[in-house]
Chains A and B, each alone.
With several copies, the nearest count.
Chain A
Amino acid sequence: MSNEDQNKENLNKETYLELYHDLLLIRRSEEQLAKSYAAGMIHGACHTYVGEEAVATGVCAHLRQDDAVFSTHRGHGHALAKGVPPREVIAELYGRETGCSRGRGGSMHLFSPEVGMMGTSGIVGPTILQATGAGYSFSLLKTDRVAVVFFGDGAVNNGAFHEGINLATIWKLPVLFVCENNMYATEVPFAYASGNPDVGNRGPAYGLPSVIVDGNDVLAVYAAAGEAVRRARAGEGPTLIECKTYRTRAHSEGMRDAGYRTQEEVDAWKARDPIDLYRAYLLEHNLAAEDDMQEIEADVQAIVEHAAEFAQNSPWPDPATATNYIYSENNSQDHEEVQHA
């Protein structure tokens, strides 16, 4: 797998298998969503995470439910890795009342505060700042909770990146800034859009530690995130982690995926599929048995199929509730109204 195999800590078997489970759960869910999109079950945009699963999986493996994750327009994988049930994610994209945002959000607005999924955003940038604020809460409240934000290479050229990282650094906030550098913002190459082709070498400009990691190597991500989470919980401040990875499907489902990258490039990255690499690695090093993995594969398959059925059979939101939840004061009252409606 990656050439840093030697300096990989040894994990217990459960952990190895849980990582495999999470990787697969994201992949199969995304494949289901792609199918659902093609079938017209998804009404708005749908940005899949296929090819990047190792990042969310390797980072979230270190998080507790009371830690906070903030994400992007490409957020299904982060939500699943943080523990949002697949059925709630799929139901949300189906626009149903049983979705994690009760059908208000769709693909780009996944909220599940109960499990620490604090939201994805259709706007690039803001969640970098919100994670900084969660870090502020956690440190003001004297807890050891941590906040994590996942963002793309496209967000790096945005002022939110600059201001958020500086604020977290000067106040030593418990935040992980995880950049998923998949080399493109839609079709605009990061190498064109930024004067510096790397992100993980920018720590010195801000005064925080930063690293560049192979984002298709779940164990490399796991190791880097583990150290960053340790620092954050210990009150040692934020870390910037760049994960070099690749999106193997179109920017969003149904979108033309040509003219900006070569087939060779796509194939080369597919050959480094994070799940295939990891599966092979586990077998090669006898860290898990073929049956273990087949069992997981069957479980995940079942979970995702049931989730899709659940979504399919879920009710639509009641149009009479369209203006609920705007103001906190009115929320309960709005519910009333709805019942009487």
Chain B
Amino acid sequence: MREITFMEATREALDSAMAKDPSIFVVGEGIGARGGNFTTTLGLYEKYGPERLRDTPISERGFVGMCTGAAMTGTRPIVDFMFLDFILDAMGELINQVSKIQYMSSGRLKMPLLLRGCIGIGGAAATHHSGNYYPIFAHIPGFRVVLPTNAYDAKGLFATALQSDDPVLFLEHKNLIFNKGPVPDEEYTIPFGKARITREGDAATVVALSSMVDKTLAACDKLAKEGISIEVIDPRTIAPLDIDTILASVHKTGRLLIVDETFAPCGVGAEISAQVTAQGFDDLDAPIMRLNGLHTPTPYSPPLEAAIVPNKESIEQAIRDLLAE
């Protein structure tokens, strides 16, 4: 099968959806003629014009609130934040309005609002350009939160996001978006709430999020050489969260590690641990472990930056520690 990048894959899904549905439009800084700082919309301005690929002023709160109203009145807006960090200026709109309007209108209004942005630590982007923040959106009712990890999933999950009448956060890790992978030409969707078992194994289960999936697989390759077989699960969406697939795996392996680049406290790993403890307690042969990035703002200097993020070696060690329990 042909191989294209993660970002090309989402662009394909976006292009075909925009061709079919004239009510879809995109707003963001530099997403017009420039095609997006991360090439999210490259080539689409020429096809769909300035009204549907709308360059904006630096008014994150303003255009999120605007797109909220647009989604209430018959169009399907996409907000392209470039760096997800900029979403924080729009938190009031998102938590008090976007996530609540379907409920407060007793379902008579829909909220087909797609929010996308690049997340993640890397490239000495420093603390204003390396946020993750997805646990916040998993905490708040009303959102769908997608963490795609490869080109194939990116296309299918983005297609699903484009069809959703709920607000969706589509969060693309900076270190993944230019990775290539096999992607079918035809359109397809991947349902939210269905995890992918990325690697089968029976000694332990590792749930890895976003950029941690590839690093975990690399660690598992190494361990496999010693005959240690690890099961790796990529939830793909954290809201909804496919806890059943995780529970089934833990039932098989008896051991669970959650690897996440972002902060541990009140994070996704905590939620998964709490659910597995509550529902799979008797399956556990060892304490559930978490491996997270350090609980700190992101430093700029490369040696500091490298020190705060889990890597192949620290993941391998965490798995060994879990097996030793």
Contacts and interface: CB of A to CB of B under 8 A. Distances in A.
Interface of A: 43-45, 68, 70, 95-96, 101-106, 108-109, 111, 113-114, 118-119, 121-141, 147, 154-155, 157-160, 162-164, 166-167, 170-171, 185-188, 192-194, 259-260, 316-329, 331
B73 A187 contact: no
Interface of B: 22-23, 25, 29-30, 33-34, 51-52, 54-59, 61-75, 77, 85-86, 89, 92-93, 96-97, 101-111, 123-129, 141-142, 144, 164-166, 294-297, 299-304, 306-308
A316 B34 CA distance: 37
A36 B165 CA distance: 38
Contacts of A126: 65, 68, 92-93, 96-97
A10 to B, nearest CB: 35
Given A44-B126, A122-B127, A322-B294, A133 B57 contact: no
Contact of B107 (A128, A167, A320, A325): A325
B111 to A, nearest CB: 7
A136 B306 contact: no
26 contacts: A104-B304, A105-B126, A111-B104, A111-B105, A113-B72, A118-B69, A122-B128, A122-B129, A123-B92, A123-B97, A125-B92, A126-B68, A130-B68, A132-B62, A133-B68, A134-B69, A136-B25, A140-B23, A160-B62, A167-B59, A167-B62, A185-B57, A188-B56, A193-B55, A321-B304, A329-B164
Contacts of B101: 111, 119
Contact of B108 (A109, A114, A138): A114
A109 B128 contact: yes
Contacts of A192: 55
A141 B23 contact: yes
A286 B101 CA distance: 47
A325 B103 contact: yes
A142 to B, nearest CB: 9
A166 B300 contact: no
A121 B302 CA distance: 19
B241 to A, nearest CB: 14
A159 B34 contact: no
Contact of B25 (A130, A140, A155, A193): A140
- Minimum-distance CB pairs A-B, first 10: A129-B65, A133-B69, A163-B62, A122-B128, A130-B69, A106-B300, A43-B124, A157-B57, A95-B301, A103-B301
Given A325-B107, A328-B110, A134 B73 contact: yes
Contact of A121 (B59, B77, B97): B97
A105 B104 contact: yes
A53 to B, nearest CB: 24
Contacts of B63: 163, 167
B321 to A, nearest CB: 20
A119 B105 contact: yes
A179 to B, nearest CB: 13
Given A123-B96, A123-B128, A157-B59, A316 B301 contact: yes
A322 B308 contact: yes
B105 A260 contact: no
A16 to B, nearest CB: 32
A193 B93 contact: no
Nearest to A328: B165
B59 A43 contact: no
A8 B47 CA distance: 49
Given A126-B97, A136-B70, A316-B303, 14 more contacts: A104-B104, A109-B127, A111-B105, A118-B73, A121-B97, A123-B85, A123-B96, A128-B65, A136-B67, A140-B70, A163-B62, A163-B63, A166-B59, A321-B304
A159 B29 contact: no
Contacts of B59: 157-159, 163, 166-167
Contact of A154 (B51, B57, B141): B57
B23 A108 contact: no
